[in-house]
Structure 1
Amino acid sequence: MLFANPHAQRRGYDAALQAVMNIARGRESRQWLSTWDRLSPQPTPAWALPRLAAQLGIAQVVVKDESRRSALGSFKVLGAPVALLRLVLRRWPEQGWTPADLFAGRHAEALRDFVVISATDGNHGRALAAAAQSMGCRCVIVLHAQVSEEREAPIAAFGAEIVRIAGNYDASVEEAARLARVNGWEVVSDTSYEGYEEIPRDVMQGYGILVDELLENTAPGAPCPVTHVIVQGGVGGLAAGVASHFWERYGAARPTLIVVEPEQADCLLQSARSGRPDRATGSVDSVMAGLACGETSPLAWRFLQPSVDLFMTVTDADAEHAMRTFATGEAGDVPVLVGESGAAGLAALQVLAADPELARAAGLDASSRVLLFSTEGATAPGVYRALTGRTGEEVVAAQAQWLQREGIAEAALMARIDEHAAIGATAQGGVCRIALTDADRAGRDRLVQWMRDLGLTVRIDRIGNIFGIRPGQLPDAKPVMTGSHIDTVATGGRYDGNYGVLAGLEVVRWLNERQRQTLRPFVVAAFTNEEGVRFMPDMMGSLVHAGGLALDAALDTVATDGARLGDELARIGYAGNMACGALVPHAFVELHIEQGPVLEAEGVTIGAVADLQGISWQEIVVTGQSNHAGTTPMHLRHDAGYCAAAIAVFVRELARRYGGSQVATVGAIDLHPNLINVIAARATLTVDLRNTDEATLKDAEGELADYLRQLETTEGVTIEARTLARFEPVQFDERLVRLVEASAHARGLSHRRMTSGAGHDAQMMARIAPAAMVFVPSARGISHNPKEHTASADLAQGANVLLDVVLGLLDEAD
């Protein structure tokens, strides 16, 4: 049954309601919960189901998967624990306890006589029991007759004391309230009643975290990414938490909100009919156990009555069919582990889509983008298997297999990498493809041919950057760009830079094979002279593209072998005619090997690069006096060789003293006349200083400059320092970093945030567009070396993360 709510309005979020529940307080709850080790530190996945959407005649179906929230397997873990936390902090404000310490059990002794109680159909009680166990307080759970032993056992496993009653859920709520009054205990429930609203408010506020996670990756100022939200009913707590967040954020432009209930537990629909909190008309008993509630929460109703457009009921058979749809991925989409109550949203959508009249009433058409919430996994394993014919473990395994099968083809990626590595191959197994040499030309020629084979339009700019462009449905929209570089150092490996470019081509292949049209154009870029071996500075092509270096200055750069860069570009045929910087991306994502040991050492597959160190390169020339090594007393020497050594020692000790991310390297020293028995008259050396903090990097530069002045005086030499390159630290776009983390989490890949110690094209692109990087492990941390290696499985997984991130960005509106 579908009922249009006559009280729903399109207006700004009510100030009175905002005072009760708001996004800011929800984000505080989210931060507090992030300190609890029983929750995943990452948002739960939001799975796109495009094939199912096509079957249903709509544009998009996305389901937020709460089976991945924690071992508790349910969204309820966002409500009861934070409500208990706030209750304890209110009860003992003078103690100054922190959420992290409470969740860690550091005040268990003080809380051992504190008792909380609640009624539950299973998941709420399990979450409350887990939180109480972590904090060290007692927990009593009241279960009604329809709660199975299979749902009771996990609650008891967290140390909760179980009280059984003969009645239904509403009777268990009454019994919990009675026991609390008699014993002086505290009720922690998501159901409000007269005089009891504070804790249900905190529970509902926690549920809003679901929407906060979904929308945090939406571009600021962008319209709502969905047109319809279908959310489960119950007493109304979840629906209120979801509705209030959308309402506050989007006001009158909020999406259409639909609340779904079991037909025999229709208390919210009946409330919409009567215009006040009301009771269900049926038996309340339902296979959707978490929604088998007979009475509406008055507090929740204050939020739902003005904001929910449609109330709807579904049958148990509808829910069971939706469970099987999720479990099998029958439309060809990813299988998702969804329990009985979690399937209610899809059940409603399937019923609506199957009836043209109902679909019209709900405003569903070919442009509709629908959000569903899978509120639980297989929290009752026996019931789940009986209804779907599969175990939860089998569905999770099928999901992993689907992700592998539907991702970037590992064999094709490796074949492309191997073929390109043959260009400039060295006898030691590495690659020497220095910028603008004949080997670089051959590598560029192969890349351009591959781009054209994939149907890309190839454009080359005046600094020689190569762009392969796949059109979007909106040709004037800013493109999503990925890429890196294909030049190497003299003793390079086959993955540095090259991997990111060729993985971008594999993303294009993936799109082409599926005939996938995207809203925005997609660009694969190969930037000129990233390594800076022959022409300085490094990352030159991306720096010119981003406007950080004038084109004429770059073209006039003289190589270490005396050649002019502009002349070499023309010689190899890559002096293009496109204006530098003509392509300004919507976002830039660079995939790269780590070139360091961190990921491998920690057993982590994906690095979400959050920042990149600032770089200060200097060339220092020390001029002393050449003299006889045997006849010149030590106190009369003006030894440039000693000064070079002293500078090397100084910067090493400086880095150790600063600590943190500060590093310092003397990478090259040249002495003149460079004879064993002659005091050096001149020393030329390089100093490389790096730090993620600009102020600290400047301090290090200042200390080095002071030391050079002191050395001049004490040693009687002349010292001149020349800046070779200077790049400030880069903070990558937080939204993009989260997208990388979300992809890795959804794919079940271990991941961590990290800093890049090396320079990359992404740091230049970050000047003109949101940018981020994805790292995969480097064996033993070795790079710029023929032994550079990354396992093919890791390379494929990195490409899959790139694919996920790019796909989301390509369909973003302005």
Structure 2
Amino acid sequence: MLVVANPEARRGRYDASLQAIMNIEQGQQSRRWLARWDGLNPGATPLWRLHGLAQQLGLGQVSLKDESRRSPLGSFKALGAPVALLRLVLRQWSDSGFTAESLLAGRHADVLKDYVVISATDGNHGRALAAAARGIGCRCVIVLHAQVSEERELPIAALGAEIVRITGNYDASVEEAARLAALRGWQVVSDTSYEGYEDIPRDVMQGYAVIADELLETAADDGPCPFTHVFLQGGVGGFAAGIASYFWERYGAQRPAFIVVEPEQADCLLQSTRSGRAARASGSVDSVMAGLACGETSPLAWRFLQPAVDFFMTVSDAQAEQAMRLLATGEHGDIPVLAGESGVAGLAGLLAVLASPEQARQLGLDAQSRVLLINTEGATAPGVYQALTGLSASEVLQAQSDWLAREGIAEASLLARIEAHGRSGATDRGGVCRIALTDADRAGRDQLVAWMRELGLQVQIDQIGNIFGTRPGLNPGAAPVMTGSHIDTVATGGRYDGIYGVMAGLEVVRWLNERKVQTQRPLVVAAFTNEEGVRFMPDMMGSLVHAGGYPLQQALDTVGTDGARLGDELQRIGYAGELPCGAIRPHAFIELHIEQGPVLEAEGLTIGAVEDLQGISWQEITITGQSNHAGTTPMRLRRDAGYCAAAIAVFVRQLAQRYGGSQVATVGAIALQPNLINVIAARATVTVDLRNTDEATLQRAEGELAIYLAELALEQEVEITAKPLARFEPVQFDQRLVRCIEASAASRRQRSRRMTSGAGHDAQMMARICPAAMIFVPSQGGISHNPREHTAPAELTQGANVLLDVMRGLCDEG
């Protein structure tokens, strides 16, 4: 091992001259483009937290971004070549109307069938280019040098690429690709630059910035960098430049320390920092780390690395092989990871540095360090991988799946809690009737509080009856991370609505307790009062009062449908607490809930990342006409409140159909007086429920309804009044939290989508005072508020696992 400090490294704002070449905006555009390509697996690649390794090494945190899951290629190179090819074609056909989306869909293959791209490769870059070329419909030629195995050649050829073999090394293959391109008019798409050739290598590097964008999309916008040290693979320098430039632009002088690692036989970057310019390697270049076995630094990449990288270092093949085995076996209780020879260079470098206390001090590695590693490839040469680790790729992936199942929320325990709690208010049909502040609700509350105390939570009850169970954090003064929902139901309720989120929160606490995991921030499990609003209006009352959106005294004075006063009922059941409402202000709030709709099931998805929630407008409309005989009163002389009620129901349905989009409208209740078959109704009461995700559109719908009611009253010679019952604006949930949910789902191999919630939830009230988001799991048949409400046990468990991941990550934030 050799470590060299870079005397040219500096901290400060990202250089404007470099930003003009490569920047976050272009990296994010690359990500948007590639999201449409079926050559990549959907979603971000996982970021594994290696807690066991961090503890063993005496570090605060070790995180591993796993590019083995990027695509069937199993390498980060699947990002660079496609982006470069897209930008190249868009430049050369700038007047054609081509778009990245249309190119990736292959809609211009007839135009591009004679267009030829060529590149040299050690395997992964060439395979990525071949896949992209096949996708857009152009030809691809790949030059392979003598050290590239047949095992790496065959997958490239299988993608339709024409293979050219040479006897020299990688640098010789680069020269041959350039020669053939000049001779035949082909276009070189290389990841290394040379004089006069920078645009395409720049675009390749910009593609690698997708990794950095994924890494930082869940970091707080105004917070510090989540990593103090980033170990990056070397090679020609393009990968390291693509990642480091993104971090540097975002964090400026507060960027992390960058350490670039390369094979000791292919130390071109280390030699470059010694000489102060892009240089050649001092060794033979031949290394087991084939993707890093590069003899000459890319001059363009060096322009970014020279001012940004703090240390350059080398590792031996033996150290790389040791790191491969450590990840494959999950040696310290961490998740097993499929990491190939080049993918482990960063870990090999970290282990080598920490073996020397002096080197560790030089790099500033200690118990407070948060280290990022990037596994750039999986078993891209399966035979080599098995020979070096003693395990096949399939064995490691199976061990990974087993670990994920073993280290998640215990399905049996979660289901047992839901089953046991369902006995409070159980109905003969298998449902639950646990209406707010009834005796059944008291029994459910008593059970919840008992479980909270068993788990060691500090239980507090506020003045509106909300229940909070707090697990302390290492930083007791930090704002807590809160999860939870409600335990009250409608009269014909099912077994999962609301209670699932509360029980899953308890299971997160149990998981942390059993493993003796201490979080930085406190964790709170909450159960909010009167979410359903069946007995006392409005609904979501407990969370609304907590968030300061409804006066406490007004809530306490609310009279229920049975004539009872809410405050009196709180006293009666023993849940009129003393904690001031709103006393707990969370760092973030995450609510796990069943979807209560059909979308996830219909699309075969497991997780919904809820990004917004519809605004709600409830009105009670009263029509006063004239009662009269049904047989003797001519139709033209009637003042029929019943007809007006029906006309309103038809109008709101047509309004919703006319608006389209997310607009929905419902007449849920109609009451007629005197409600006799042979008497024209003198009075009608109609409820109207309007919902939309856009506030302006919702207001427009309300306005149209008001105009219609006025016209109808005039036309039918009746009196119509509208009384507001509830009005909540649409809610946009915190995008960072939504991305955290998506990232967890992807890491656990669960298919997800972003969603709108059509129902109201406590999270929409909590979003008034803290970042909030929701996790949905499927509802069988879309049925809810019904004893037939059901979600499969495995889906309940996966939702709880996502909650666990998100809560744990948020609880460890500074």
Give the TM-score normalised by the residue count of structure 1. Answer: 0.99
Alignment of 1:10-159 (within 5 A): 10-159=11-160
Partner of 1:651: 652
Matches within 5 A, 1:545-560: 545-560=546-561
- The residue aligned with 1:258 is 259
**Residue 311 of structure 1, CA deviation:** 0.9
| RMSD, aligned α-carbons | 1.0
**Separation in structure 2 between the aligned mates of residue 559 and residue 59 of structure 1, nearest angstrom:** 53
Question: Superposition pairs for residues 623-642 of structure 1, below 5 Å?
Answer: 623-642=624-643
Aligned residue pairs, count: 813
Q: Deviations over 1:129-184 (max 9, x none)?
A: 11111111111110000001111111111111110000000000011111111111
Stretches of structure 2 lacking an aligned partner (at least 5 in a row): none
Indicate the SS of the match to 2:20: helix
Query: What is the deviation of 1:335?
Result: 0.7
Deviations 1:375-399 (A, max 9, x none): 0111111111111122222212211
> 1:640-681, CA deviations, whole angstroms, 9 ceiling, x for partnerless residues?
111111111111121112111111111111111111111111
1:160 alignment partner AA? A
Using the TM superposition, give the Cα deviation of residue 422 of structure 1 relative to its aligned residue in structure 2, in angstroms. Answer: 0.3
Aligned to 1:210: 211
The 2-side partners of 1:516 and 1:787 are apart by 38
Match of residue 455 from structure 2: 454
**In 2, Cα distance between equivalents of 1:154 and 1:303:** 33
State whether structure 2 residue 716 is matched by structure 1 residue 738: no
- Partner Cα distance (1:717, 1:400) in 2: 67
2:296 maps to amino acid: E
Matched AA of 1:98: T
Cα separation, 2, equivalents of 1:459 and 1:295: 64
Alpha-carbon distance, 1:210 to partner = 1.0
CA offset at residue 41 of structure 1?
A: 3.3
Cα distance in structure 2, aligned partners of 1:362 and 1:652: 66
Moved over 6 A (4+): none
Residue 531 of structure 2 aligns with which residue? Answer: 530
Query: Which is further off, 535-544 or 396-405?
Result: 396-405
**Structure 2 equivalent of residue 722 of structure 1:** 723
Hey, what's the Cα distance between the residues in 2 that align with 1:230 and 1:105?
A: 37
Q: Which residue of 1 is the match for residue 713 of structure 2?
A: 712
Counterpart of 1:335 in structure 2 is 336
Tell me, in whole angstroms, the C-alpha distance in 2 between the residues paired with 1:171 and 1:626.
98
How far, CA to CA, are the matches of 1:92 and 1:795 in structure 2?
50
Q: Match of 1:768?
A: 769
Q: Distance in 2 between matches of 1:269 and 1:42?
A: 35
Q: Could you tell me how far apart the structure 2 residues matched to 1:392 and 1:621 are?
A: 69
Q: CA deviation at 1:192?
A: 0.7
AA partner of residue 249 (structure 1):
R
Determine helix, strand or coil for the equivalent of 1:95.
coil
Cα separation, 1, equivalents of 2:390 and 2:384? 10
- What code does the residue aligned with 2:567 have? G
Residue 345, structure 1, aligned to residue 346, structure 2: yes
What is the CA–CA distance in structure 1 between the aligned matches of 2:594 and 2:29, rounded to whole Å? 36
User: Residue 35 of structure 1: CA displacement?
Assistant: 2.0
Determine the structure 2 residue equivalent to 1:783: 784
Task: Tell me whether 279-288 or 496-505 shows the greater mean CA deviation.
Answer: 279-288
Partner residue, 1:182: 183
Quick one: which amino acid aligns to residue 7 of structure 2? P
Shift of 1:99: 0.6
Q: How is 1:572-591 mapped onto 2 (pairs within 5 angstroms)?
A: 572-591=573-592
CA distance in 1, matches of 2:315, 2:364: 18
Map of 1:396-415 to 2, 5 A cutoff? 396-415=397-416
The 3-state SS of whatever aligns with 1:442 is helix
State the AA in 2 paired with 1:282.
Answer: G
Per-residue Cα deviation, 1:102-137 (whole angstroms, up to 9, x for no partner): 111111111122111110000000111111111111
User: Counterpart in 1 of 2:434?
Assistant: 433
1:702 lines up with 2:709 in the alignment: no
Quote the Cα distance in structure 2 between the aligned partners of 1:705 and 1:18. Answer: 54
The 5-angstrom pairing of residues 151-550 of structure 1 reads 151-550=152-551
The separation in 2 between residues aligned to 1:496 and 1:713, in whole angstroms, is 44
* SS at 1:306 equivalent: helix
Query: In structure 2, what is the Cα distance between the partners aligned to 1:91 and 1:795?
Result: 51
Deviations 1:428-461 (A, max 9, x none): 1111110011111111111111111111111111
Output the CA distance in 2 between the equivalents of 1:779 and 1:457. Answer: 36
More divergent stretch after superposition (693-702 vs 148-157): 693-702
Give the distance between the partners of 2:654 and 2:160, measured in 1 at CA: 54
**1:208 partner SS:** helix
In 1, distance between residues paired with 2:459 and 2:624?
50
Distance of 1:761 and 1:221 partners within structure 2: 26
C-alpha separation in 1, matches of 2:190 and 2:811: 42
Give the CA deviation at 1:200.
Answer: 0.8
State the secondary structure of the residue aligned to 1:195: coil
CA distance in 2, matches of 1:653, 1:244: 54
Note if contact 1:644-1:685 (Cα within 8 Å) is conserved in structure 2.
yes
Q: Which amino acid aligns with 1:438?
A: D
Greater mean deviation of Cα atoms: 397-406 or 359-368: 359-368
CA distance in 2, matches of 1:709, 1:247: 61
Cα distance per residue 1:770-797 (max 9 Å; x no partner)? 1110011111111111111111111111
Deviations 1:32-51 (A, max 9, x none): 22221212331111100000
Deviation at 1:598, TM superposition (A): 1.2
Sequence identity (%): 76
Which position in structure 2 is the counterpart of 1:599? 600
Do the aligned residues in 2 keep the contact of 1:555 with 1:566 (CA within 8 Å)?
yes
Secondary structure of the structure 2 residue equivalent to 1:20 = coil
Mapped to 2, the partners of 1:36 and 1:759 lie a distance apart of 35
Residue pair 1:712, 1:718 contacting (<8 A) in 2 also:
yes
Tell me the TM-score normalised to structure 2 length: 0.99
**Separation in structure 1 between the aligned mates of residue 12 and residue 678 of structure 2, nearest angstrom:** 87
Cα distance in structure 2, aligned partners of 1:755 and 1:17:
40
Please give the alpha-carbon distance, in whole angstroms, between the structure 2 residues aligned to 1:637 and 1:15. Answer: 78
**Aligned-residue offset at 1:496:** 0.4
Q: Secondary structure at the match of 2:308?
A: coil
Q: What are the ranges of 5 or more consecutive residues in structure 1 without an aligned counterpart?
A: none
Moved more, 776-785 or 37-46: 37-46
Matches within 5 A, 1:791-810: 791-810=792-811
**Secondary structure in 2 aligned to 1:469?**
strand
Offset of residue 56 of structure 1: 1.3
User: Following the alignment from structure 2 to structure 1, what is the Cα–Cα distance between the partners of residues 259 and 315?
Assistant: 12
The C-alpha deviation readout for 1:270-295, integer Å capped at 9, x for no partner, is 11111111111111111111000011
Q: Distance in 2 between matches of 1:9 and 1:626?
A: 86
Contact 1:57-1:353 at 8 Å conserved across structures? no
> What secondary structure does 1:162 align onto?
strand
Deviation, structure 1 residue 96: 2.4
Secondary structure, in 3 states, of the residue corresponding to 1:54? helix
> Any idea what SS the aligned residue of 2:225 has?
coil
Shift of 1:358: 2.0
Cα offset, 1:216, TM superposition: 1.0
Cα deviations across residues 742-793 of structure 1 (Å, max 9, x unaligned)?
A: 1111100111111111110001111111111001111111111111111111
Matching residue's letter, 1:479: P
1:659-670 aligned at under 5 Å gives the runs 659-670=660-671
The amino acid across from 2:440 in the alignment is A
The alpha carbon displacement at 1:12 in A equals: 2.0
The one-character-per-residue Cα deviations of 1:194-218 (angstroms, maximum 9, x if unpaired) are: 1111111111111122111101110
Give me the whole-angstrom Cα distance separating, in 1, the residues matched to 2:60 and 2:465.
40
Query: For 1:32 and 1:424, how far apart are their aligned partners in 2?
Result: 52
**Letter matched to residue 609 of structure 2:** A
**Mapped partners of 1:760, 1:389: distance in 2:** 51
